[in-house]
Structure 1
Amino acid sequence: MYLVAVCSCPVGIAHTYMAAANLKKAAQKKGIEIKVETQGAQGVEDEITEEDLKRCDACIIASDVKIKNSSRFKDIPTMSFKVNEPIKDADAVIDELVEALG
């Protein structure tokens, strides 16, 4: 399974990167490949490419603000969360998405 994710918070500093790190760690534990784009104070980092979109199974949006270029996910199963949810329990976020995919 290959997931993509976008993390962003209003300030774009701590929570954005904590959520991204936790999602990466939780996915790795589960044997799931993930690419996490951050949209923060530094701008867009680790941007999800067209190739990523073609091969991904689903997308996680962990954000308290409107993310940039969200229309690129219109044809991809996507689940949205508040940015603090993967900070508190990234395993539950990934489990919920995987379960929804069936």
Structure 2
Amino acid sequence: MKIIGVAACVAGIAHTYIAREKLMKAAARAGHDIHMETQGTIGTEHALTPEQIKAADIVILAIDIKIKDKERFNGKKIIEVPTEVVVHSANALIKKMEEIVK
């Protein structure tokens, strides 16, 4: 499964990067390809490319704030959750994504 997503917390610091890391590790353990963009106080990092977006089976938005360019995911299967959910339940979210994509 090809997963893309965005992580963004209120402060744009800790939870943003923790959520990204937890999702990346959980997806890798499950054998999935994942690319996660971060949006925060220092701007956008690891920006998703149009090719990555087009190829994605599902989008995970681990966000606590409004993000930039959300419309680029129109037409994709999307799961949106707070960063805290990802921090505590990344493996369960990967399983949920697998169910949705089936």
**Shorter-chain TM-score tier:** over 0.9
Check if 1:32 corresponds to 2:32: yes
Q: Corresponding residue for 2:69?
A: 69
Q: Distance in 2 between matches of 1:6 and 1:91?
A: 17
Q: Corresponding residue for 1:96?
A: 96
Q: Distance in 2 between matches of 1:95 and 1:25?
A: 13
Structure 1 residue 32 displacement after superposition: 0.3
Q: Corresponding residue for 1:54?
A: 54
Instruction: Give secondary structure in 2 for the equivalent of 1:11.
Output: coil
Instruction: Give secondary structure in 1 for the equivalent of 2:86.
Output: helix
Q: Identity over the aligned pairs, expressed in percent?
A: 37
Q: Distance in 2 between matches of 1:5 and 1:54?
A: 12
Q: Distance in 2 between matches of 1:57 and 1:8?
A: 21
Gap regions ≥5 residues in structure 1: none
Q: Corresponding residue for 1:19?
A: 19
RMSD: 0.7
Amino acid at match of 1:92: A
TM-score (norm 1): 0.97
TM-score (norm 2): 0.97
